[in-house]
Amino acid sequence: MNTFEIKEDFYLNNKKIKIISGSIHYFRIVPQYWRDRLEKLKALGCNTVETYIPWNLHESKKGEFNFSGGNDFVKFINIAKELDLHVILRPTPYICAEWDFGGLPAWLLKDSNMRVRSNYEGFLNAVDSYFEELFKYIVPLQITNGGPILMMQIENEYGSFGNNKEYLRNIKNLMIKHGSTVPLFTSDGGSIDFLEPGTLIEDGILPTANFGSRSSEQLNNISDFMKANNFEGPLMCMEFWIGWFNNWGGEFKRRDAEEVSKELDDILKIGHVNAYMFHGGTNFGFFNGSSYHNSIDPQTTTYDYDALLTEWGDITPKYEAFKKVISKYTNIPEVKFSTNIKKINYGEISLTNKVSLFNTLHTLSNKVISETTLPMEKLDQNYGYILYKANVGDKRTLANFKLVGMDDRAQIFVNEDLIYTKYKENFVGDNTSLDLPKEKNNILAILVENLGRINYGASLISPSQSKGLKGGVMLDMYFHDNFEHYSLDLENIDKVDFSLGYKENTPTFYEYTFNVSEIGDTFINVEGFGKGCVFINNFNLGRFWDIGPTNYLYLPGPLLKIGKNKIIIFETEGKYRDTINLSDEPCYTK
């Protein structure tokens, strides 16, 4: 039986081990490529892989769990074991990871008193129920039971959020209650300001740090913190940030390979490392998170992270620079890559059908009528779009039209004509006028997009985490009542009825069909489109937005099939092309 212990250093089977790890998120990669990415990690010289487990992916609806297909983290971990890789697992309720709501499930927000990452009974009960199911899968994978998991994390960067040690102990105790038997750790920023509130060093729990620069200084900070608390343990950077994530409208972030590999060397001279990210992957579907910089700042579909592998798994110059450094500390194994991955230029694909959202609305969603506007969560909707619709009466000009409690992006239509698009967090105080042109029965429609919940910082618990219209719609001096609600999570894109007609300059579904005789990775070029999301054979590839920095969506080959394939693009700005190009190269904004 293998053993793993934390003393003054890490010990595997009573021998010191230098942990050289890389982060790979199974949920950002199609499962057919898990082995390829893990083989490339081993070929770098790493002996360990680290991954999070996002709660909202596995329990998207309360009490309904999914650990199959792309959610089968057990299969991912067993592949790592087959490759003689150890595993660091981070199954904490909150993960950050630039993932929607930091991995917390949206249904928590149905409780108006909810306080996440706290001792609030409703939150701890939800974690308890989740862990009860989750740990059935984790327990056999621990090294104490013959598996590859060496250690697990209690909370993630809690020192950047709170200092409630009782809460940290509650999470620790829930993990132990449900079967955790391996050593536990915390990870926080590498200064006393983060380590003091975020760790359980007083309980003998190993503190680790997350940083991307000034590595020697940061590790010395942890060492000083340990000494001040009479704690003896190894020094580890649990997240060595070798790149960074991207937000829509920003520049694509890159970091110099020589500079970051020098930092790696500084870490390995005195401690242990987990490179974040070894391979970033893709924020498929609507799972991207958002930063908060005076307003919601959503992150891109690509989670390239300027990692050692590209979004599509190619080895980079930074990979080779890291390999050179790692070879100073361990032997680099010979690894034969077993997955044949090719890129294919499928060329131009022609439009076959199109239908306006307004025409197929009733096939996508069951109408809900309420006196007041309801947010998504009250309608058991987690992601996507929601459309509010109401008859606002006779012809007139509203001097003050306001949306109250709208924190994302709203498109306002009158009689299906787009009037304007708003991004403000709250429309109170915004003197926006609105013309109602028809003599009678003017129909107001408001399409709100959930851009992604905030994944980090104080805004994690702000009211903006609830999506849709939370306050209501004001027409001059009063709130208008009686709205139709249409939830558009787009979980089954087959419900779109393309026979129902098209109207220019409205949100529209566009269908492109093509035949494939050979399977390979490709890139959908979305130049000429405005904003929306793309589906391949009913799988949500993610969002696009013409503000960049990317103008492509990566389409992994395993999502295609021999024969007929169907791409559906939902576009909200009225911009589209009669053909799209499936290229063997990605396209970035110029």
Q: Which residues are catalytic?
A: 157, 239
> Nearest to residue 182, comparing CAs of 192, 172, 191, 190?
172
Q: Are 25 and 169 in contact (CB under 8 A)?
A: no
Q: Are 148 and 182 in contact (CB under 8 A)?
A: no
Q: Are strands 272-279 and 236-241 parallel, antiparallel or unpaired?
A: parallel
Q: Are strands 86-90 and 48-52 parallel, antiparallel or unpaired?
A: parallel
> Nearest to residue 559, comparing CAs of 529, 522, 586, 509?
522
> Nearest to residue 527, comparing CAs of 491, 501, 504, 553?
553
CA distance linking residue 274 with residue 48, whole number of Å: 8
CA distance linking residue 528 with residue 579, whole number of Å: 10
87 in helix, strand or coil? Answer: strand
What is the C-alpha R_g of the chain? 25
Token digits for 102?
């930091």
**DSSP letter (8 states) at residue 136:** H
Residue spans of alpha helices (H) in 200-356: 215-228, 257-270, 317-326
397 in helix, strand or coil? Answer: strand
CA 317, 323, 328, 333 torsion: positive or negative? negative
